[in-house]
Structure 1
Amino acid sequence: MGVYGDWIVMVLAGGLIAIWIYRGLYRWLHSPPAARRLVLGEGAEILADDENVQLLERHGYQVISGKHRVPLHIEVDGAPMESRLYIDYIAEQDGKTYIVKTARDRMPIDWTGSGLRDRLLVYSLLLPECEGVLYTDAKEGTVRVVTFAWNE
């Protein structure tokens, strides 16, 4: 190649690199913040004799993951605090994934809009790819599906 041939190759290579960098920055700026998304591990072992697992299976759900502990780091006026959220199970039915919370005697749930919001919305926001929250009560033998939607 002549004198101009080398320049043409360099301009084309530089243009391709500039397009590649532009597309990467554009995708990064316009995509959801993946770095802040929660990725759950495998969770605890699923016990076959657990009454909540058996209840979910009777209602057609497949429990795919055991209990998860999600650590939270909180700061109030510069003072650090620690807490955690517990997800009892992750279940699946018809290709849809659900977060499972189980009923507790010491923490009864208020079945009003504000009561459900206060107790279960955090789980729906924590894992937005899930279809909703299943609330199981082994004593009553019920599985309730709770979903949240935003009015636009």
Structure 2
Amino acid sequence: MDGQYDTMVIGVFAICLIVWLFLALRSWMNRPIPVNLAELKLNENIQDSPALQLLEANGYEVIGGKMKIPLAFEADDSILYSRLFIDYVAEREDSRYLVKTSRRRQPLERSGPVIRDRFLPFLLMYPGCEGLLYVDLEDSDIMVIRLMDYQEDVYDGEDLD
């Protein structure tokens, strides 16, 4: 009788293992593939500008020009369209960066919420990039923006309860 219980336990364990492997494989197959910046088709038409000269003076090689990224959203039964623009794609020491240039009508306040709202979509869309370069033409400055791993002890925000 003891042999039957051992066989049943092993059988249940094997069935659970097979179901778990099947669900893990199905989840892995349905996961979207992140777009790698190295595989991104670049715009080879690079227009000369003060931002381009500032990037090159700081050791960046501009390898792609202005790009439009079309987006579509489904909201209820409607399809809404929008787009994002990348000014350049630059490279330095085998690391690729998306580049956004400053706009006079949209000054950048250097705070967490503003950086999040303006640049997070770009950093999430291309996780293979090293970061985003914000070229401030008025100050002749380049700010490197990277998405960090969250560390609870670094964040001292308010409790949301």
Per the shorter chain, which TM-score range?
Answer: 0.7 to 0.9
* Residue 126 of structure 2 corresponds to residue 130 of structure 1: no
In the TM superposition, residue 27 of structure 1 has moved relative to its aligned partner by 9.9
* Residue 45 of structure 2 corresponds to residue 45 of structure 1: yes
Note the alpha carbon deviations across 1:98-117, whole angstroms, 9 max, x for none.
Answer: 01000001112221011111
In the TM superposition, residue 150 of structure 1 has moved relative to its aligned partner by 2.4
| Matches of 2:44 and 2:50, distance apart in 1 | 16
Query: Which range moves more in the overlay, 123-132 or 106-115?
Result: 106-115
Poorly superposed stretches of 4+, deviation over 6 Å? none
- Percentage identity across aligned positions? 38
Aligned to 1:116, the other structure's residue is in SS state: helix
| Matches of 1:54 and 1:61, distance apart in 2 | 10
Unaligned runs of 5+ in 2: 1-23, 152-161
Number of aligned pairs?
Answer: 127
| Matches of 1:87 and 1:97, distance apart in 2 | 13
CA RMSD of aligned residues (A): 2.4
Aligned to 2:106, the other structure's residue is in SS state: coil
In the TM superposition, residue 149 of structure 1 has moved relative to its aligned partner by 1.1
After superposition, residues 1-150 of structure 1 pair within 5 angstroms as: 26=25, 29=28, 33-34=32-33, 37=35, 40-43=40-43, 45-47=45-47, 49-150=48-149
| Matches of 1:79 and 1:31, distance apart in 2 | 25
Aligned to 2:83, the other structure's residue is in SS state: strand
